């Protein structure tokens, strides 16, 4: 280990941490609003990367078929719910929202594949194509059990990941894909060290998107509605905020973040139909460091995970994932020590 090697590993860790930062923000956003640990977050990112790879090879992305299938299931679920509640007059609106609206990015993606669009259009189409996935999954799977315990929601979320992995294998096949670099050139640091343009783009994107994330939460009505729902669901409902609507907004924002992650990491790693799981797990470690509620601590945790992973891969490539996940042990011990615990008898008396 020399200073030059340490500098290279540090830069690589920052690039990985930038990805985990965006993923961690998405996980915390969904959990704080809905109490769902959205395990399939990484799968959405993988689908975006595979979609971009399909565009570059002149193929129509299989993601179109997946989104249309989910849209059909969500439409049937919503229509059935309206019929049971005796609100048949709202069925046309439901069909437009859950059936026709997700078809718009699918049509854009199909047109992009047919006419050999430039790379910028392919990137935009890949990101927009996966944006409906998380809201559609939420409508079909999570909204009917929104009042279940966190443990039940976690189990369902984990089962949903395995379902999406199977669908990914069905739609995309077992072959891996890697896209061309989004940014060329390099940034020279000193006389003997340079940083590739792709790494600079990843870090810069994380900084810019995090700043936009902060501005949306602080300056927009939708962002304040998300914050209100995260702080107090009952209070938000009392002031006219619909938790179900803010939940869908949270899923949509997280799906957008996942799509951006997918196109950022596609040039630097070979993506398979199930590659998103490990990305989601490492982002989950960062989110746990932030307590699944704190965005700044999640950002710190994401950078720590990226740097630890980079240095661990230098010392032992086979053990790097185990070393990263072992970060959970001191964090959980510390949180357990700092949390006030109540006896079961006292909790029953309080109730």
Give 218-247 pLDDT, tens digit per residue.
Answer: 778 777 777 777 767 777 777 777 777 888
The predicted pLDDT at position 1 comes to: 64
The predicted pLDDT at position 189 comes to: 66
The predicted pLDDT at position 284 comes to: 85
**Structural contact between residues 246 and 223, judged by C-beta atoms closer than 8 angstroms:** no
Per-residue DSSP letter, 179: P
The predicted pLDDT at position 211 comes to: 84
The predicted pLDDT at position 346 comes to: 46
**Structural contact between residues 247 and 286, judged by C-beta atoms closer than 8 angstroms:** no
Number of Cα atoms under 13 Å in the Cβ half of residue 123: 16
The predicted pLDDT at position 74 comes to: 92
The predicted pLDDT at position 144 comes to: 87
Task: Using pLDDT thresholds of 50, 70 and 90, give the confidence band for residue 293.
Answer: confident
| Residue 288 phi, psi (nearest 5) | -65, -40
For the entire predicted model, the pTM comes to 0.86
Query: CB under 8 Å to 45, separation ≥6 — which residues?
Result: 23, 130, 258, 259, 261, 262, 265, 276, 279, 280
Place of tokens 């990137």: 123
Dig out the tokens for 348 from the structure.
């029953």
pLDDT at 351 over 60: no
Query: CB under 8 Å to 134, separation ≥6 — which residues?
Result: 30, 38, 40, 41, 44, 251, 252, 254, 255, 258
For the chain, what percent of residues have pLDDT higher than 70?
92
Q: What is the pLDDT of residues 245-260, one digit of tens each?
A: 888 888 998 899 999 9
Which of 27-41, 125-139, 161-175, 189-203 shows the highest mean pLDDT?
A: 125-139
Q: What is the pLDDT of residues 3-13, one digit of tens each?
A: 777 777 888 88
The predicted pLDDT at position 349 comes to: 43
Per the prediction, the chain carries an average pLDDT of 83
The predicted pLDDT at position 127 comes to: 93
Mean pLDDT of 95-117: 90
Q: What is the pLDDT of residues 277-292, one digit of tens each?
A: 888 888 888 888 877 7
Number of Cα atoms under 13 Å in the Cβ half of residue 114: 6
The predicted pLDDT at position 332 comes to: 78
**Structural contact between residues 294 and 300, judged by C-beta atoms closer than 8 angstroms:** no
Dig out the tokens for 328 from the structure.
């959970």
The helix/strand/coil state of 83 is helix
Mean pLDDT of 69-74: 92
Least Cα distance to 301 among 312, 286, 288, 322 occurs for 286
């Amino acid at each position: 280990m020399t200073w030059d090697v340490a500098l290279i590993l540090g830069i690589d860790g920052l690039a990985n941490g930038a990805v985990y930062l965006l993923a961690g923000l998405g996980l915390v956003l969904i959990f704080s609003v809905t109490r769902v640990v959205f395990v399939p977050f990484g799968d959405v990112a993988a689908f975006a990367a595979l979609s971009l790879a399909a565009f570059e090879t002149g193929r129509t992305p299989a993601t179109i078929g997946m989104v249309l299938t989910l849209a059909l299931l969500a439409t049937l679920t919503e229509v059935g719910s309206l019929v049971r509640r005796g609100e048949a007059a709202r069925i046309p609106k439901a069909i437009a929202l859950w059936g026709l609206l997700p078809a718009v990015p699918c049509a854009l993606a199909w047109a992009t594949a047919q006419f050999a669009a430039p790379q910028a259009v392919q990137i935009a189409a890949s990101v927009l194509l996966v944006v409906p996935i998380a809201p559609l999954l939420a409508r079909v799977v999570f909204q009917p059990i929104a009042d279940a315990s966190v443990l039940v929601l976690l189990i369902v979320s984990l089962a949903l990941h395995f379902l999406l992995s199977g669908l990914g294998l069905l739609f995309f096949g077992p072959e891996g894909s890697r896209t061309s670099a989004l940014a060329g050139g390099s940034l020279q640091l000193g006389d003997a060290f340079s940083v590739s343009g792709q790494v600079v783009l990843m870090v810069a994107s994380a900084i810019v998107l995090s700043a936009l994330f902060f501005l949306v939460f602080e300056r927009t009505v939708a962002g304040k509605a998300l914050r209100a729902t995260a702080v107090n669901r009952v209070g938000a409902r009392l002031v006219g905020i619909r938790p179900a609507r803010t939940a869908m907004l949270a899923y949509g924002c997280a799906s957008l973040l996942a799509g951006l992650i997918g196109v950022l990491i596609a040039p630097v790693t070979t993506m398979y139909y199930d590659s998103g799981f490990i990305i989601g797990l490492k982002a989950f470690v960062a989110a746990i460091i932030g307590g699944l509620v704190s965005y700044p601590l999640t950002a710190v945790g994401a950078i720590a995970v990226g740097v630890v992973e980079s240095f661990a891969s230098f010392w032992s490539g086979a053990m790097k994932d185990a070393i990263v996940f072992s970060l959970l042990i001191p964090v959980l011990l510390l949180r357990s020590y700092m949390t006030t615990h109540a006896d079961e008898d006292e909790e029953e008396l309080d109730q």
